[in-house]
Structure 1
């Protein structure tokens, strides 16, 4: 479980696909401090398990099923990624509950850079409209963000600290980002499936 508050931006140092597994090495600094083999790390919003590490990098294995439903299939050496360690019982929940299980990917419709902030618009297909609300939470590449406006697109206003501490400033129109819809909202929809005809299984079928 994660909070969507990014701790560090890492860089993919190596990608090596062997059979149905991709072995990835990520260079970083801060999150290495108390790392252990078996730890869960959110990498651009995807929960991955540490298989090895040293003073400047850690390794994860990406199975074919994960590769097929995420953007890791298109990533290359040198790509920057958002990193967050798993939530501790004593951690302040500064964002919202993020599981690290990506629901889908959305296309960046536009990016507008201001002096210190930025505005991000994500194209929203009709089938996902039911899973978002104005002022609600959404995880974009693992980052906990608040939906500012909602119509044919999700409009997000990014504060200076988030611009500085994540890789959002690297995005451009046409890029794709990992999306995880609010977990609590999905549970509510699932509990109301008999009334609304919606369920998590139907959400999964849309992916």
Structure 2
């Protein structure tokens, strides 16, 4: 489990295509400081399992389903990535509960710079719309954000200077894909109430 508080802006060191998969080598001195084989590290919001650690680079295998459902397949050597180690049980939950199980991708549609922040609009896949509410939480490329607004086809978030400076979201441009993970609590509520709500989804 993660919290959506990015620890480090890392970099893709290498990409090795495999049949129906890929092997990513990711440079991140902070997250590799205590990383071991089998540990979980979120890369742009996708939970990956550490296969090997070599200095400040860790390697992880990415299966086809993950490549299909996320933007990891578009990464190239040199691509910046948001990195977060799995949260410790005794740590503060600074963001919200993030599983690292990406629900799909959205496209950055626009950026509106302000004096102290930027308002960013992102397309919202139809199947995720029911989980997204104003002032609720969403993970965008692994960053825990508060939804500023939602209109059924897109959502907006406000990015503070720290987020702009220390995550990939500061450099994203209109047309770029981003990974989206909806709040898992909303999914559980939907399933638990499906038998009691007309038209509910099980």
TM-score (norm 2): 0.93
Q: Distance in 2 between matches of 1:181 and 1:196?
A: 23
Let me know the Cα RMSD of the aligned residues. 1.5
Aligned counterpart, 2:129: 129
Partner of 1:204: none
Written as runs of structure 1 = structure 2, the 5 A alignment for 1:1-207 is: 1-151=1-151, 152-194=153-195, 195-199=197-201
Q: State the Cα distance separating 1:197 from its structure 2 match.
A: 2.9
Contact map agreement 1:111 1:171 (CA 8 A) in 2: no
More helix by share: 1
Return the alpha-carbon distance in structure 1 between the equivalents of residues 95 and 89 of structure 2. Answer: 15
Q: CA deviation at 1:170?
A: 1.1
Asked if structure 1 preserves the Cα contact closer than 8 Å seen for 2:120 and 2:157, the reply is yes
- Structure 2 CA distance, aligned partners of 1:66 and 1:9? 21
Distance 2:18 2:28 in 1: 24
Per-residue displacement from partner, 1:106-126 (whole Å, max 9, x unpaired)?
A: 111101233542211012344
User: Matched residue of 2:164: which SS?
Assistant: helix
How many Å separate the matches in 2 of 1:116 and 1:166?
Answer: 16
Q: Give the whole-Å Cα distance in 1 for the aligned partners of 2:198 and 2:170.
A: 38
In 1, are the aligned partners of 2:11 and 2:78 still within 8 Å (CA)?
yes
Report if the CA contact (8 A) 2:33-2:56 is conserved.
no
The range that moved more, 66-75 or 165-174, is 66-75
Matched position secondary structure for 2:50: strand
Question: SS of the counterpart of 1:73?
Answer: helix
Deviations 1:140-183 (A, max 9, x none): 00110000112242110111121122110111111111000001
Q: Residues of 2 paired with 1:87 and 1:138: CA distance?
A: 17
- What SS is found at the alignment partner of 1:31? coil
Sort the Cα spacing of 1:156 and 1:92 in 2 relative to 1 into closer, same or farther, 3 A.
same
- Give the direction of change, closer, same or farther, for the CA distance of 1:21–1:165 in structure 2 (3 Å limit): same
CA–CA separation in structure 2 for the residues paired with 1:196 and 1:112: 40
TM-score (norm 1): 0.91
Question: Following the alignment from structure 1 to structure 2, what is the Cα–Cα distance between the partners of residues 36 and 137?
Answer: 30
User: After TM superposition, where is structure 1 displaced by more than 4 Å over at least 4 residues in a row?
Assistant: none
Q: Distance in 2 between matches of 1:21 and 1:129?
A: 29
Decide whether aligned partners of structure 1 residues 197 and 118 sit closer, same or farther in structure 2, where only a CA change above 3 A counts: same
Query: 1: distance between equivalents of 2:11 and 2:114?
Result: 25
Give distance in 2, aligned partners of 1:54 and 1:113.
40
